[in-house]
Structure 1
Amino acid sequence: MSETYHQRRALLLEYFDRTAIDAWARLTSDAPLNPIRATVRAGRDAMRNTLLQWLPERLDGMRLLDAGCGTGALSHTLAQRGANVLACDLSPRLIDIARTRGAEARQSGALEFVVCDMLDVALGEFDCAIAMDSLIHYQPATILAALEALAQRVRRSLLFTFAPRNALLAGMHALGHLFPRGNRAPEIVPIAEKALIRGIGASAALSEWRIGRTQRVARGFYISQALELVRK
């Protein structure tokens, strides 16, 4: 991956592991939130449910990658459905939260949390990889390169989300620039859906893959779009 990818990754680690760890832990729990963050929680819940609906109800015998698992809500559900889940994140503190929350969960599959880059080839091969809001901070070329790298190790389907380019999202970004730099999350990069799909179609590394389902989720300050790639 490019130097830009690693630079951005370092910013994400700083933010999620240090600056915003308490806020992120609260956001992904059932603790009370202010109205703005409540819409983000509702949006993330809706997006997670969308991705889960795209997978079989039972995942017994399947090996899944939760790429950028955060506090592990998606990972826990996948394991409850019978999957063997490898859940990874850059942030050791988020992984600690995920392990704690899943300690007493009943699972019919297996669940392992690992602190590492989601593109690490040492993680092995998977039937399916899911990257929910893990690529939204990267430029289109970097997203495409990440998909190409993941696709080499995935046998069936690759589900990911991106920030769709629209006027509302642009306005939110402009508003975010009014806050002090120390309080800002790493910038989300809006992506034109048609351009992203053209890039996927033109990629030699993704020639064995086709576009599947797509679904946009918008809840207040949360706007994200899911896209499914399926091996032909």
Structure 2
Amino acid sequence: MNVADDKTIVKDYFNSTGFDRWRRIYGDGEVNKVQLDIRNGHQQTVETVLNWLQDDNLAGMSICDAGCGVGSLSIPLAQAGAKVFASDISEKMVEEAKDRAAAELANTDNLTFAVQDLEHLSGKYHSVICLDVLIHYPQAQAVEMISHLCSLSESRLILSFAPKTPALSLLKKIGSFFPGPSKATRAYLHKEADVIKILNSQGFTIQRQAMTRTRFYFSRILEAVRS
């Protein structure tokens, strides 16, 4: 399957059954145990990134939230005063994010949403953040995507991804990785060393790193800054 096919599947999934499933996971309503575990894991990743940024003066800082989902990161960043451009490949996800922003923020002037895939993002931002999106990209396309995100960042790039380790590779192989009948996209794991090599080749060095690990959610988080 080539990247165009993968992108079509991901887009269609998150505009249909996937949207309903992940909107529940990223919300606060009742979900099953697996979905609750994934919700908690994703929120831990978001909170890690917010904690990393809390010492910065976010007021007026330009941030691109690439693959924003329902706005779990974009909304608190905008609330802190950052100027946020948030995009997602799924039109339904973006509409949900807009609704949540309107409900949670008194003013949304510093928050812009767009339906757009990562490859077509443009502009320059102080910081570019891309959480839990690499899982949809095979290694060859991940190289191109990460390099493109680097080109958008003037100062910092924060990525999270499912790390390729023997244990997680085994879980994926036996079908326990992100389980559920409504799962309809491929899950790609990535070696941390490969991701760091790409970042280094684009003039970035690792400043901080963290790992979110729950029963069904695994995410390696890297913060890279321009050398």
TM above 0.5, yes or no, is yes
In the alignment, does 2:20 pair up with 1:25?
no
Q: 1:180 Cα shift?
A: 11
Which of the residues 207, 213, 225 maps onto 1:212?
A: 207
Gaps of 5+ in 2: none
When residues 47 and 182 of structure 1 are mapped into structure 2, their CA distance, relative to the original with a 3 A threshold, is: closer
> In the alignment, what sits opposite 1:104?
103
Q: In structure 1, what residue type is equivalent to 2:131?
A: M
Q: Which moved more, 1:183-192 or 1:150-159?
A: 183-192
* Contact 1:27 1:41 (C-alpha < 8 Å) held by counterparts: yes
Q: 1:179 Cα shift?
A: 11
Q: Deviations over 1:102-133 (max 9, x none)?
A: 11323577111111112324x41111010000
In the alignment, does 2:149 pair up with 1:150?
yes
* Contact 1:136 1:161 (C-alpha < 8 Å) held by counterparts: no
Q: 1:100 Cα shift?
A: 0.8
| TM-score for the superposition, normalised by structure 1 | 0.88
Gaps of 5+ in 1: none
> In the alignment, what sits opposite 1:62?
61
When residues 191 and 61 of structure 1 are mapped into structure 2, their CA distance, relative to the original with a 3 A threshold, is: same
* Contact 2:18 2:183 (C-alpha < 8 Å) held by counterparts: no
Q: 1:18 Cα shift?
A: 1.2
Q: In structure 1, what residue type is equivalent to 2:126?
A: D
| TM-score for the superposition, normalised by structure 2 | 0.90
Q: 1:148 Cα shift?
A: 1.2
- Number of residue pairs the alignment of both structures matches: 225
State the alpha-carbon separation in 1 of the partners of residues 67 and 178 from structure 2.
26
Using the aligned pairs only, state the percent identity.
Answer: 32
State the alpha-carbon separation in 2 of the partners of residues 49 and 164 from structure 1.
19
Matches within 5 A, 1:56-135: 56-57=54-55, 58-106=57-105, 110-121=110-121, 123-135=122-134
State the alpha-carbon separation in 2 of the partners of residues 113 and 155 from structure 1.
20
State the alpha-carbon separation in 2 of the partners of residues 56 and 140 from structure 1.
32
In the alignment, does 2:3 pair up with 1:8?
no
- Partner SS state of residue 136, structure 1: helix
- Partner SS state of residue 221, structure 1: coil
